[in-house]
Amino acid sequence: MMIMNCRSMVEFRAKMGIRWRKVSVQGQGGRRPDAVNRRHPMERPRDRDLQEVFRLIAASKNGLSKAEIVKKTHLRHLAVTDAVRTLVERGFIDITPHTHDELTMDDAVSIIQSRFCVIGLRILPSEVLGVVTNLRCEVLPIGVAGEELTAVKDLPDGGHDVEGVVQAVAELTQQLVDQIPEGYSVLGTGVELGGHIKSGTVVYSPNLQWRDVPLRQRLEEVLHRQLNAEQHARFGPRGSQVIIENDANALAVVSQWFGAGSERTSFALILVGDGIGCGLVINNELVRGFGGMAGEIGHLVIAPENPGLVCRCQKQGCLEAIATIPTILEAIVRAKKANGEDPPATIADAVKLAEKGDKLAEEAFEVAGDALARAISYLLNLVNPEALILETYEPMVTQRLVPIVTKRLRRYCFSTVQKDTDIPQNPAAPERGAKGAAAVMIMELLSQRLPAEQAGRTRHLADPERGL
């Protein structure tokens, strides 16, 4: 083998016409590459690691050892140790059985189920639905007899009156606080609703016809004022904090935790209801976008040439003008009336008609499924997620739409995108939205710093009395 010295190497490169540039190391701060990702052991773990470790422990029935967590998450030992230590400090998890303070790789850790809880609320135009969950996001029984899982409060005026909704949500929260089992401390309230949400403000909700409503701030103010001393005492040290989330995002979070999204690093959850939303999880993280508007698939313009399709956002030809539950039902009702036939009263009746082979009903679902597939194909081509979860709160509608969308995606998607995307079943119970809001609140708790962490100090194990 010929070995060239430096000089002959330069001559060789010049002869071959190769030009060289020096690599700039600016921006790396002159650190060695192996030092870039190294954290000080006392620093707080990354939110993403903390959430992944927490979700895994919460989903396991009998607890997990650190060694098992390392194996399942592919995180480094140090990252798992940091995350576990932080969760123990907060009083969220404990070593089982608790015989010593030093954690080893084989010790099992599990969620402490009967210490903390959160409230989850789902705001619809007609009602607010609420649940209380433990930190495993399991719905706790409430009610006078302790037999109910959800509480519902009706909303007048289709939810258009902001202050009326704020008052109703605050009252429902107070009722839920009164019914929380003894011994639990409430860590906060998660609220979900359809629309564009940014940092606690409802920028625009077509469902409720709200614009620029600082909902989190208003709810926190009203709760702070209205909670009585006994109710205040049920909350943890951070008080009655509130978080607001888009409805599809809340469902994506709960699906990532327990549903068809678990065991997947990326998926898109499409929620078809009065509107059409999308929760997008990429590399295990919910993507909200710069302005909180990522995943607004319902307002992709699918049919701009059709003047009859005006969306609630006033644009022409949005997906929502074609494929929401009300627009599907309206299309069938219109067609039936034009044909001199009895129209269906509900979407369930419409599905039954289609199942019996009614051509008009079948056609309406085909049109909606085609529009959905067209919009979803844009998303799949752009993001290439592992799975697509199509969800409605009407299981019969989901069953009707999924085969149509799957078939049409073959026509609209590029290359192998459609074949590569799994479309799993993910049945939606009515309380899942509220449960999703609770899950978002729990995830938010993991992002918040303890006073000790803010001061740069950590403790080895938690003082259970201190909690958060």
Q: Which stretch binds Zn ion (CB under 5 A): 52-60, 314-322, 405-413, 451-459?
A: 314-322
Contact call for residue 124 and Zn ion (CB under 5 A): no
Q: How many residues interact with Zn ion (rule CB under 5 A)?
A: 5
Q: Shortest distance, CB of residue 108 to Zn ion, whole angstroms?
A: 50
Q: Which of 291, 244, 246 is nearest to 271 (CA)?
A: 246
Q: Which stretch binds Zn ion (CB under 5 A): 54-62, 88-96, 285-293, 298-306?
A: 298-306
Could you tell me if 320 and 327 are in contact, meaning their C-beta atoms sit under 8 angstroms apart?
A: yes
Q: Which stretch binds Zn ion (CB under 5 A): 18-26, 209-217, 272-280, 292-300?
A: 292-300
Q: Which stretch binds Zn ion (CB under 5 A): 171-179, 317-325, 344-352, 385-393?
A: 317-325
Nearer to Zn ion, 178 or 330 (CB): 330
Contact call for residue 311 and Zn ion (CB under 5 A): yes
Nearer to Zn ion, 204 or 258 (CB): 204
Nearer to Zn ion, 111 or 276 (CB): 276
Strands 285-286 and 276-282, bridge-based pairing: antiparallel
Nearer to Zn ion, 303 or 313 (CB): 313
Contact call for residue 313 and Zn ion (CB under 5 A): yes
Q: Shortest distance, CB of residue 84 to Zn ion, whole angstroms?
A: 45
Contact call for residue 315 and Zn ion (CB under 5 A): yes
Phi-psi region of 29 (alpha: psi -120 to 50; beta: other; left: phi over 0): left
Contact call for residue 379 and Zn ion (CB under 5 A): no
Q: Which one of residues 44, 218, 299, 374 is an interface residue with Zn ion (CB under 5 A)?
A: 299
Nearer to Zn ion, 330 or 422 (CB): 330
Q: Which one of residues 132, 272, 318, 353 is an interface residue with Zn ion (CB under 5 A)?
A: 318
Nearer to Zn ion, 152 or 367 (CB): 367
d(CA 277, CA 295): 7
Q: Which of 151, 53, 144, 143 is nearest to 103 (CA)?
A: 53
Name residues whose C-beta falls within 8 Å of residue 308's C-beta, 6 or more positions apart in sequence: none
> What is the widest separation between alpha-carbon atoms in the chain?
92
Q: Which of 40, 293, 26, 235 is nearest to 119 (CA)?
A: 235
Name residues whose C-beta falls within 8 Å of residue 146's C-beta, 6 or more positions apart in sequence: 181
Nearer to Zn ion, 212 or 230 (CB): 212
Site of interaction with Zn ion (CB under 5 A): 299, 311, 313, 315, 318
